[in-house]
A and B are shown apart, each in its own frame.
Chain A
């Protein structure tokens, strides 16, 4: 199974949400990493056929997905970001409904519903109305519905949003379990989520794929740019303004800083090189991106 993206672009007026992306996806887990507005959701929608590219095409084993239509959708499992539920449906009804839409027979729908609700720890809440669910429960239900048809292509947009740490770990393990013979594409801006399970990581920025490769391969590009320094508190503050700091830890009157530096030279006397992580890489590439909460914070301060 090969999913091909050939020069795929999506433009809204003059703005490009996705800009000329080409990729070949084979069975395995792909992590799509990028800041908000990088184009991850738009790309995923196009892969799921719910949004048409402005140019380029997406094909499965050489056949355009638009031509495959129902056959392609039969292979899909999709968890959109911020998607809606039917508040008056119970979890079980919702699963049966989606199973019917996916073409499962009533007996298969029943079996898969029980199995998946158990798997996402919603078995006890299966007869409760979705309106009573917490955000995390809704997200787990969303993950369960995406898996109903045992999809060959699983597209998960921010699947761990709203999950607590325990649920996130369980989800990561579940995806690792499921990934065999499937193309799993999951987007997130939570770096550890992809770091552990993705075979390939695609970093998106401003609608383009900035870089791709395994976590090891990507972090290798940061070798020699990550440093650990121990500085007095007063100096640390000045240092924070001059360098990119990925973590900061107070220890008595001193502060331990993890510094990402563009230059290969040590940022301070006594700085020791550290092994780069995917988080360092992410921060390095996206530190200029505006925090979506910034305007709100500024407004509150004003």
Chain B
């Protein structure tokens, strides 16, 4: 890092907005980790357990299934569950018959795998809680065939209005074929919470970073120091590079600090286990995800794309900053750009929705797209939505910088 970048970095770090921004990011980090602890719930032989005790119980139940979820595991789980069910005292509520609480507590340790079976054997776009009640152990052993059938049915029915071409379907089939089966399972809550709360974290990070970097150029105009710096030897060259470099270093540092605090807190509460589990086992919602990655892989990809989304906003903020007279007006426009796409409702056209997902603000929701069967067709290429979001953010970041550079380079003091 050269001296000028160091000075520019110092200017950014010493602003009050940085302190408040960092506090904001850390508050979001803590809240997104600590709040879920209070809503954690599990069951043991004595009934409901909450908070940290429930985390310990869930870890214990998950540990008994740690490793590969083979067809035998599914078969045995169904057998054990149905044995409890067959001896269970039934309670009827609203015309629906449930097992008694005592039997439910007895069956609860099987829940991690029962959840996958319920999702896997439910019809496409529906969820049938009672599907495991009638599932035979032999049928349960066909879990992976059922998963493939589910995906085939999904691709054929186009339930989300997507008209998949044969090539699209082939792409998704290939992606699914790359997923190693049997799926690898472990307790993954330590990774789960940062990932599901990632869109909130990225959005707040984008907001904070656009506030913090708004004065990079416009602060010089507002304070009147532009006259001095622009009349110096490096004022219209090295300084601009230093300012841009410092803005990106600062943004990356703030982003990483907040994100690592989020992850660190989550891992310290829920444990580090599950990093090498199949992404599909992160939660039952992700069972049909076509991405052949591990939980750690999903985390790293989400981090990378979230970071790029933040840099795209920073790049846009720098562009505005080089052309507007005050940081306040820069902040107003950056915030409009960041939040406005969140208020645009999704349409019926899949292409419209895909393009909407590429807009700043929406880019922060990248983790949600890891569950989608969505391909964006660009210039003959088929891009998965996470890749499309990542490339879009990278392109925005790179393409806007020359305009920001030019804005300051050509600035006239008046």
Contact = CB atoms under 8 A, between A and B. Distances in A.
Interface of A: 45, 48-52, 69-70, 73-74, 76, 78, 80, 82-86, 88-89, 93, 96-98, 100-103, 106, 145, 149
Contact of B226 (A50, A69, A86, A96): A50
Interface of B: 3-4, 7, 10-11, 14-15, 220, 222-239, 412-414
B242 to A, nearest CB: 9
Contact of A102 (B222, B232, B412, B414): B232
A73 B233 CA distance: 5
A83 B414 contact: no
B231 A50 contact: yes
B380 to A, nearest CB: 44
Instruction: Specify the main secondary structure of chain A where it touches its partner.
Output: loop
Given A73-B231, A83-B228, A88 B14 contact: yes
A49 B7 CA distance: 24
- What 4 pairs across the A-B complex have the smallest Cβ distances? A84-B223, A80-B227, A84-B224, A101-B232
A98 B233 CA distance: 10
B224 to A, nearest CB: 4
28 contacts: A50-B231, A50-B412, A51-B413, A52-B412, A70-B234, A70-B236, A73-B231, A73-B235, A74-B233, A80-B224, A80-B227, A83-B224, A83-B225, A85-B223, A86-B225, A88-B11, A88-B14, A88-B15, A93-B10, A96-B7, A98-B229, A100-B3, A100-B4, A100-B234, A101-B233, A101-B235, A102-B232, A149-B233
Contacts of A89: 10-11
A101 B229 contact: yes
Contacts of B4: 100-101
B228 A145 contact: yes
Nearest to A100: B3
A48 B231 contact: yes
Given A48-B227, A100-B7, A106-B3, A70 B237 contact: yes
Nearest to B226: A50
Nearest to B221: A84
Interface centre among B229, B230, B412 (most CB of A within 10 A): B230
A97 B414 contact: no
A251 B152 CA distance: 110
A131 to B, nearest CB: 11
